[in-house]
Amino acid sequence: MKVKPAERLNAVQEYYFAAKLRQIDRMRSSGIDVINLGIGNPDQSPSENTIRQLCSEASKPGIHGYQSYAGIPGLRKAFAEWYLKYFKVLLDPDSQILPLMGSKEGIMHITMAYIGEGDAVLVPNPGYPVYASAAKLAGGKIKYYDLTEKSGWQPDISRIEDSDLSGVKLMWVNYPNMPTGTPASANMFDKLVGFASRHNILLCNDNPYSFILNKDYKSILASQGAMDIALELNSLSKSHNMAGWRIGMLAGNREYIQNILKFKSNMDSGMFYALQMAAVEALNNPPEWHDRINIVYRKRRIIAEEIMDILGCRYDRSQTGLFLWGKVPEMISNTESFVEELLTGTGVFITPGFIFGSNGDGYIRISLCADESKLLEAKNRLASYLSPAGLASGKIH
């Protein structure tokens, strides 16, 4: 290459799923029917009224130009009403809410607004890889904190507090948790807010999974003192089956929002008006709509648990969210090799837990974003492959 890329790219690697999807595409091109149980890409549709609203608004003249960087007032108001209805958090739509083109961009915006060269970021292990990637791209330093099965996949705040916190400006948490499915708890959020307040650390909760197989809706912003030190990301991607629409939001203190908007306004030119109006409609979906979506996920979850049983995995039935997280049997010495062997041997892709951090090694994750027929087919393939005859032939190592 004549022109070399920026040095910052050396700090990150290509996202695991980008490379894996290319491999799956090659397998499918060669005639292999791959069943992808790896990615949390909702396959159900948004509500019919949401789609109708998009079509109606998009056909109107005069709405196809640039929009406000801070979103239309109607969308901010709808997000505020949504938070009050489900999370019991009162937000000022004019100053405490920032619509986003998906919450993933919000992770980068927050990081770029607050992390400079050498600043430290507390990142969960296991956790969403983008938290660390964003910090590295901003020139920050990563300080991982452990989430373990022994601790119920919750932060050990006393242990974190005993560690070197010099230079730490930002801490990522994610509850309901991905990849482990651990639900949020008010007590945990209270402790985290207290910790962040004592050490002047900006605390960010990434909260896109509250509505999937869960009705105990919790926000970190409900904790006393949270509005002084915490932010929360949310999204319509998982909760409203709108992943490709790229609609999310950030909530928190006005000063934090304004600083993040300063960065965001240099990165985009506002969200399409019709999308924003459709999002308003989606946020007004009745609770019964979410119940119907979860009936589908509950049926899929049963099959996913049966797949875990076939694989000999141990898992917690109280998990919430879009995935099922399980511990592989002790006989499996290398989870990455195990997952790759299942993919090549059965055409079924399951996510290996190591991609979320070292504490995820020895675990796998099954997505519920495949219909029942696909899940049943995956179950049957795996059962056949892992039959006593298959085990006796040394297929699994």
Q: Quickly state the pLDDT bin for 159 (edges 50, 70, 90).
A: very high
- Per-residue pLDDT tens over the stretch 318-369: 999 999 999 999 999 999 999 999 999 999 999 999 999 999 999 999 999 9
The partner residues of 101 in beta bridges, in order of sequence, read: none
Q: Report how far residue 292's alpha carbon sits from residue 287's, in angstroms, rounded to the nearest whole number.
A: 9
Whether residue 393 contacts residue 386, with contact meaning beta carbons closer than 8 Å, is answered with no
Quote the pLDDT of residue 1.
64
CB neighbours of residue 337 within 10 Å: 13
**Residues whose CB is less than 8 angstroms from the CB of residue 67 and which lie 6 or more positions away in sequence, other chains included:** 269, 270, 271, 272, 273, 276
Burial annotation 20-53 (CB, 10 A radius, 16+ → b, else e): beeebeebeeeeeebbbbbbbebeeebbeebeeb
Rounded CA separation 213/208 (Å):
12
Residue 18: pLDDT band by 50, 70, 90 thresholds? confident
Closest residue by Cα to residue 191 from 214, 171, 215, 169: 171
Distance CA 96, CA 101 (A): 17
* pLDDT digit string, tens, across residues 96-153: 999 999 999 999 999 999 999 999 999 999 999 999 999 999 999 999 999 999 999 9
User: 30-72 pLDDT, tens per residue?
Assistant: 999 999 999 899 999 999 999 999 999 999 999 999 999 999 9
Asked if the model's pLDDT at residue 228 lies above 60, the reply is yes
| pLDDT given at position 359 | 97
Distance CA 95, CA 73 (A): 11
Q: In which band, very low, low, confident or very high, does the pLDDT at 19 lie, cut at 50, 70 and 90?
A: confident
Q: Would you say 360 and 327 are in contact if contact means Cβ atoms under 8 Å apart?
A: no
Longest dimension (CA), the chain: 68
**Distance between CA 381 and CA 232 in Å, rounded?**
41
Nearest to 363 by CA among 122, 157, 143, 153: 153
Give the burial class of 98: count Cβ atoms within 10 A of its Cβ; 0-12 exposed, 13-18 middle, 19 or more buried: buried
Half-sphere exposure of 197 (CA within 13 A, CB side): 12
pLDDT of residue 180 exceeding 70, the answer is yes
Q: What is the pLDDT of residues 184-201, one digit of tens each?
A: 999 999 999 999 999 999
Residue predicted with more confidence, 389 or 271: 271
Strands 314-315 and 248-252, by their bridges, are unpaired
Per-residue pLDDT for 397 more than 50? no
d(CA 204, CA 228): 12
pLDDT at 252 over 80: yes
15 pLDDT above the threshold of 60: yes
| Higher pLDDT among residues 90 and 16, named by residue | 90
Please choose, from the candidates 359, 344, 351, the residue with its C-alpha nearest in 3D space to the C-alpha of residue 396.
344
Task: Return mean pLDDT, the chain.
Answer: 94
Residue 396 has pLDDT above 80, yes or no: no
Cα separation, 257 vs 252, whole angstroms? 7
Which of 99-113, 241-255, 297-311, 378-392 has the least mean pLDDT? 378-392
388 confidence band (pLDDT: 50, 70, 90): low
What pLDDT is stored for residue 394 in this prediction? 45
What structural domains and CATH numbers belong to the chain? 7-45+288-386 (3.90.1150.10), 48-284 (3.40.640.10)
| Amino acid identity for residue 199 in this structure | H
Confidence category of residue 393, pLDDT binned at 50, 70, 90: very low
Nearest to 363 by CA among 341, 384, 334: 334
For the stretch 351-355, contacts whose Cβ atoms lie closer than 8 Å and that sit 24 or more positions apart, written own/partner, are 351/37, 351/38, 351/39, 351/179, 353/126, 353/179, 353/325, 355/16, 355/129
